[in-house]
Structure 1
Amino acid sequence: MKLCSVLLPFCLLAIASPGVAQQPKPDSVEACYSIGKLIMPPGVAPEVGGLDAMPDGRIAACFHHGQVGIYNPQDKTWQIFAEGLHEPLGILVENAASILVMQRPELTRLRDTDGDGVCDSYETLWDGFGLSGNYHEFAFGPVRAPDGKLIVSLNLASQGDTVFKEVRGEFSSIGVPREKFYTEWKKVGKDVGRMYSRVPFRGWVVKVDPETGNAEPWACGFRSPDGIGFDARGNLLVDDNQGDWRGSSELFVVKKDGFYGHPASLVWRPDWDGRVPLEVPVEDLDRLRTPAAVWFPHGHFANSPTQIVQIPKSNAWGPFAGQTIVGEMNSPKILRVLMEEIDGVWQGATVNWMQSDALKRGVHRLAFVDDVLYVGRTHLSWAGGEGIGTVVPTGKVPFDILDMNITPKGFRFTFTAELDENSDTAELWGGEHYTYLYHKDYGSPQTDKDAIEVEKITIGDDRRSVEVKLGAWVRDHVYEFRLDKLKSVDGRSLLNPRIAYTVRRVPH
C-alpha cells in the first residue's frame, strides 16, 4: 500500500504530462476503412487483369491465365463465365449477358446467349492492331467514354527481346531494317531503343465503336499505359510508368491527336515524315509533346500507377466522394489525384488516399459495387501481389488533405477537419520543389531542387481552408509539401501528410 501511495503521484504526473498529451497521432487506415479479402475460385491463378461490376451487384473478374469469373457477394461463391482467353488485362460489363474483355490479341465480346450463366459466344470486336510476338506488348482496357465509344491502350515492345519472324500487321523498318531483328539481338537492341513500336499501334490509345468495331487511333506517345479512365468532367485520363522518356510516372489528360512524350509510336502518325524517332532532337520532341498533368514522384508516391476510377458520390465515402483515385503496383496503397484547369492546361496534385499492409502490393484493378471497393492484385514477373481485396468505409473520416488548388500567389489547401490554433506557423508548411528531366534515359533524378519559400499562412474562418503565400514560382516543377507537424483542433495529425502538386501554369 505504501509503495502504491508513493508511486501514484508520479504515475499521474506522467499521464498528465503536457509533452505526452500534445503529441499528434494520425488516424489509422484501419480505423477508417475495413480491409478484407475474397476467397478465390479454386484452380484459378489469382492474378487479376480486370474487375467490373455486374448490374445486379456481382463482380466480374478476368485472370491472367485466361478465365473470367463472376463473384456473388451474397453467398460468397464464384462461377466461371469464360475460359481460354489470352492474357486478359481489362474487362467491361455491358449487361448481365455480355462482357467485353481486352485480350493480348483482340478486344472480345463474351456473351451468354442461352441464359445458363456461362459464355457460349466469343466474338472478335476489334483486332486491328499489330502483334510482333514481343513479350511486353500488353493491351489494356476497355473503358467507356461519355459518347459510348470504347477506349483501349497498347503497350510498347521491350528491348528485353526481339520480335517473331511472323508478325501481325505492317512492320516499320524505320531506323533498323527488319532482317536485323533476327541477328545478334544484344547489338541490334541498342539501336532499336529501350521500348519500341514496330507494329501498329503500339504506344497508342485507340477509340473503338462497340457496335461496328471500327477503330480510330486517338493519341500516341505512351510507354506502358496500364491505367485509363475518365474523371467527373469527362476527361480521358491515362497514366504511364517511369522508364525511358519518363522521368517519373505520370498522369495525362488525353486529347485527340495528342503526343504524350515517348517517341517510339510517332512512326504510326499519318503525318510522320519518316525520321527515326530516336534521332529527333529532344528539343523538337519537347515542343511537340503535351506534358503530364500530374507527376507521381518516384518512391514515396507511385512507382507503377495502374487503374484510374472515380469514388462514387455516396455518403459512405464522406468528403472524398467524387474524387479520382489511382492504384499502385509496387506498394500497398491507393492514391488520389486532384486536378484543375489553368489557362487551358490541366495540372494538379497527388496524395495518398490509403496505405496499409492489409491492402497488399500489386493494386492493379479497382471497381466499386455499392459501398464496397474491390481491389484486384497482380504481379506477373514484377513486384506485386495476388487475389482480390475489399475496402469498406467504417464511417470515421480521417484528418486529411481534402483538396489543393493553385492561386496567383501560392496554394489553397482544404482539410477534412478544423486546424488547431498554431497552424499558421510558416515552419509547419515545409517542403521542396524540383523537376524531372525529359530524355531517353530510364527515369530521372529530382533536379533543380530547392526548399519551398513560404512567406505567409492565412487560415480561413472555417479553419479548414488555408492560403499559403509563396515567395516565388518555378513552372514545370513539383511542389511537394510535408505537413506531418500540422494538427487538427482535436490533436490529430494528418493521415497522409505529403502532397505533390505539378505546376504548369500560374493563374493571373
Structure 2
Amino acid sequence: MTSRVSVLSFLTVVAGSPVAFTAENASTPKPVVAAAHAGLGAHGGSGRDILMAKFYKISEIKGPQGVDPQVGALCPMPDGRMAVAFHRGEVAFYDPAKSAWSIFAEGLHEPLGLLNESDGSLLVMQRPELTRLRDSKGAGKADIFETVWDGFGMTGNYHEFAFGPVRNAQGKLFVGLNLASSGDTVNQEVRGEWLSIGLDRKEFYGDWKKNSKLAGRMYSRVPWRGWIMEVDPVSGKAKPYASGFRSPDGLGLDGEGNLVVSDNQGDWRGSSELHVVQKGGFYGHPASLPWREDWGKQKPLGVSVEKLNKMRTPAAVWFPHMSYANSPTQMVSIPKTPAWGPYGGQMLIGEMNVPKLLRVTTEKVRGVWQGACYPFIETAALKPGLHRLAFLGDNLWVGRTHLTWAGGENIGVVQPVGPAPLDALEINLTKTGFKVRFTHPLSASCNNRALWNIRRYTYAYHVEYGSPELEEEWLTPTDVILTEDGRCAELIFGELREDFVYDFFFDKLYSASGQVPLNIRAAYTLRKKF
C-alpha cells in the first residue's frame, strides 16, 4: 500500500437497531424492533448484556489474598489447575476443584508470559529474562530459578516489556520485545550494546522534553528491541526471527501452527494489527532495523516511507480503531468441541480498553496473508482489561490488568451455554467479491442486495501516531447469491481494491427461523485480489 494523505472522512455509524421477527409467517418473517436490542451502542448496553447472557455465562475468580490482582499470564496445567502470573511478581496455581490458590514463586520482575514443560517446570517471561521455575523437592514451591535467556538489552525505559513465550511444533520458543517510548528517557547504566545510530546518547540525559522528539516516538537503542526472537529452550541460544514490531503484546499460534503476533495502534501503525509472522520478515516499524546484519549506518527515521513500504509485510488483519479494538492483546485457538460448536479452530483475541473479545480468521491469497475480525463476546460482565486468555477444558479464562492505562483486575471465566447464536462465521475472498458463511441458515429474502451494507476505507502507513479512516465509501453488492442451505452468501462487487478494509454490517439480516445476528459487524482486510 502506498502512503496516503487525505482529509479525514470520519463517519460515526449508527447501524440501526437489530430486529426480531414474529413467527406469523415462517417463510417471510415480519421485522419488529427487539426491545432487548434497544439502545445498542458501540460497546453494548444493558440490552446487549441480556442477549449475551443467553449464550455465555461469565463468572469471576479473585486473586490470592494480599496479591495485586493484575494478571500478566495464564497457563493451563495437565492436572486441571491454572498457573497464573501476576504483574507484581508472583506465580500461583489455582485449583478449580478446591477453589483454592497456592503460591509457587515470588519476586519476579513483571512476568508477562507462562508456559509449562513436560517435567512440570514453568517457563516465565519476565522483564529482564526468560526464566525456568523448578520445584526440585516436590514441595509445591519453586526453589530453582534458572536463566534460560537474557541476551537482550534493557535501558530502564518503562515501556520495554517482554512477551511470550509460545512454543511451535518443533519445540522452539518465540518471545517479543517491546520498543522503548519517548514518554521517558533511559538510565545511565544500560544492559547490552548501545546503538550509536540516532540521537547521541548524551542527549538522553539533557532536556528530554525537547530531545525526545529527535529520538523517535518509539525507539530501539539496545539489542533486539522491536524484534520477535527464537529461543532454544535447552541450550538457551537465541536468534533474531522477525523485526518491525512496536508493542507485540500478543504472541500465539493459529490452528495450523503459524506464528501470529498482535501489535497496537501508534506510530507506524494506522490501526492495531495482527501479523502472520515469517522468518526474516519486516513488519513495519523501522526502529528495530539497525539490528539487522545487513543494515549499515542509516538512521531508521531517515528512510523514506516509500522504501520502508517496499520492505515491509503489511498486517494480515487490521482491527478498525475504536469500533473493533483499541489495544488488542493475546490470541488463543478455540477448542474444537461441541461446547464451542462452529467456532472451533478459530482464533480469539482480547481487548484492553473495553469488555470485548473478538474472533479472527485468516487465509492466504496469492501468497499473502489476509483475513477478518469479528466482534464475538461483548458485555459488561467481561469487564475491561482482557489481557491474557487461556482455555481450561471448555472454559475460557480471561486475566485482566491495567497498570496506568484502562483495564481491570482478577480473572473472568467464560462458559458457552446453549446453541450458537446467529453470527457471521467466516468471510473469504472470491474472484468477484466475498463469501460470507453464517452459523445458521439465512432467510431466503436475504438475497436482497439492499440488505447488505459495506463500508470501505484504508489507513495510512506513516510515522504519525495512528491514522484516520481514509478514502471511505459505502458499497452495495451488485448481486447476492445464497447457497441452497442458506448458510453462505456470495456477494458480487464490480470493483475490489487492495489494502482496504471491507467493514460489513449485518443489522438488516435474519435467519430462516427469524433470529437476528448477535454481532452485527465484521471487517475483512483485503491485501491481494485473485
The match for 2:337 among 310, 314, 318 is 314
More deviation, 201-210/87-96: 87-96
Residue 285 of structure 1 aligns to a residue whose secondary structure is helix
The match for 2:258 among 229, 235, 245 is 235
Tell me, yes or no, if the aligned pair for 2:443 and 2:510 is still in contact at 8 Å: yes
The match for 2:406 among 383, 393, 399 is 383
Find the counterpart in structure 2 of residue 400 from structure 1.
423
Q: How does 1:302-341 map to 2 (within 5 A)?
A: 302-341=325-364
Find the counterpart in structure 1 of residue 294 from structure 2.
271
Q: Distance in 2 between matches of 1:359 and 1:93?
A: 26
C-alpha change, 1:24 and 1:351, in structure 2 (3 Å) is: farther
Find the counterpart in structure 1 of residue 144 from structure 2.
121
Q: How does 1:215-294 map to 2 (within 5 A)?
A: 215-294=238-317
Tell me, yes or no, if the aligned pair for 1:350 and 1:500 is still in contact at 8 Å: yes
Tell me, yes or no, if the aligned pair for 2:450 and 2:476 is still in contact at 8 Å: no
Tell me, yes or no, if the aligned pair for 1:24 and 1:492 is still in contact at 8 Å: no
Find the counterpart in structure 2 of residue 30 from structure 1.
53
1:149 aligns with 2:158: no
Find the counterpart in structure 2 of residue 189 from structure 1.
212
1:460 aligns with 2:483: yes
Q: Distance in 1 between matches of 2:395 and 2:29?
A: 37
Q: How far 1:17 moved relative to its partner? A: 9.5
Q: Distance in 1 between matches of 2:23 and 2:189?
A: 77
TM, length-normalised to structure 1: 0.95
Find the counterpart in structure 2 of residue 160 from structure 1.
183
Q: Point out where structure 2 has 5 or more consecutive residues left out of the alignment.
A: 1-21, 38-49
Question: Identity across aligned pairs (percent)?
Answer: 56
Find the counterpart in structure 1 of residue 497 from structure 2.
474
C-alpha change, 1:344 and 1:17, in structure 2 (3 Å) is: closer
Q: Distance in 2 between matches of 1:199 and 1:453?
A: 50
Tell me, yes or no, if the aligned pair for 1:97 and 1:115 is still in contact at 8 Å: no
Tell me, yes or no, if the aligned pair for 1:373 and 1:390 is still in contact at 8 Å: yes
Tell me, yes or no, if the aligned pair for 2:58 and 2:412 is still in contact at 8 Å: yes
CA offsets, 1:435-460, max 9 Å, x none?
A: 00000000000001111241000010
Q: Distance in 1 between matches of 2:196 and 2:410?
A: 41
Q: Distance in 1 between matches of 2:474 and 2:526?
A: 15
| Letter aligned with residue 85 of structure 1 | L
Tell me, yes or no, if the aligned pair for 1:24 and 1:491 is still in contact at 8 Å: no
Tell me, yes or no, if the aligned pair for 2:111 and 2:125 is still in contact at 8 Å: yes
| Letter aligned with residue 130 of structure 2 | L
Residue 418 of structure 1 aligns to a residue whose secondary structure is coil
Q: How does 1:307-456 map to 2 (within 5 A)?
A: 307-456=330-479
| Letter aligned with residue 276 of structure 1 | K
The match for 1:501 among 524, 527, 530 is 524
| Letter aligned with residue 501 of structure 1 | Y
Residue 493 of structure 1 aligns to a residue whose secondary structure is coil
Find the counterpart in structure 1 of residue 116 from structure 2.
93
Residue 422 of structure 1 aligns to a residue whose secondary structure is helix
Q: Distance in 1 between matches of 2:58 and 2:205?
A: 50
Q: How far 1:22 moved relative to its partner? A: 2.8
Q: Distance in 2 between matches of 1:215 and 1:358?
A: 41
Where in structure 1 do 4 or more consecutive aligned residues deviate above 3 Å? 15-21, 24-27
Q: How far 1:95 moved relative to its partner? A: 3.8
Q: Distance in 2 between matches of 1:235 and 1:287?
A: 23
Q: How far 1:23 moved relative to its partner? A: 2.2
| Letter aligned with residue 194 of structure 1 | R
Residue 446 of structure 2 aligns to a residue whose secondary structure is coil
Find the counterpart in structure 1 of residue 103 from structure 2.
80
CA RMSD of aligned residues (A): 1.6
Aligned length: 493
Residue 339 of structure 2 aligns to a residue whose secondary structure is helix
Tell me, yes or no, if the aligned pair for 1:453 and 1:472 is still in contact at 8 Å: no
- The structure with the largest alpha-carbon Rg is 1
Find the counterpart in structure 2 of residue 107 from structure 1.
130
Q: How far 1:254 moved relative to its partner? A: 0.6
Tell me, yes or no, if the aligned pair for 1:411 and 1:467 is still in contact at 8 Å: yes
| Letter aligned with residue 308 of structure 1 | M
Q: Distance in 2 between matches of 1:369 and 1:204?
A: 30
Q: How far 1:147 moved relative to its partner? A: 1.0
Q: Distance in 2 between matches of 1:433 and 1:126?
A: 45
Structure number with greater CO (CA < 8 Å, separation at least 6) is 2
More deviation, 88-97/206-215: 88-97
CA offsets, 1:182-212, max 9 Å, x none?
A: 1111111111010000001100000100001
C-alpha change, 1:20 and 1:347, in structure 2 (3 Å) is: closer
C-alpha change, 1:81 and 1:252, in structure 2 (3 Å) is: same
Q: Distance in 2 between matches of 1:251 and 1:360?
A: 23
CA offsets, 1:280-335, max 9 Å, x none?
A: 01000000000000000001111101001100111111100111111111110111
Q: How far 1:16 moved relative to its partner? A: 10
Q: Distance in 2 between matches of 1:106 and 1:375?
A: 24
Q: How far 1:96 moved relative to its partner? A: 6.3
Q: Distance in 2 between matches of 1:394 and 1:176?
A: 56
Q: How far 1:138 moved relative to its partner? A: 0.3
Tell me, yes or no, if the aligned pair for 1:55 and 1:96 is still in contact at 8 Å: no
C-alpha change, 1:350 and 1:287, in structure 2 (3 Å) is: same
| Letter aligned with residue 80 of structure 1 | I
Tell me, yes or no, if the aligned pair for 2:449 and 2:476 is still in contact at 8 Å: no
Residue 340 of structure 2 aligns to a residue whose secondary structure is helix
| Letter aligned with residue 234 of structure 1 | G
Find the counterpart in structure 1 of residue 46 from structure 2.
none
Tell me, yes or no, if the aligned pair for 2:75 and 2:114 is still in contact at 8 Å: yes
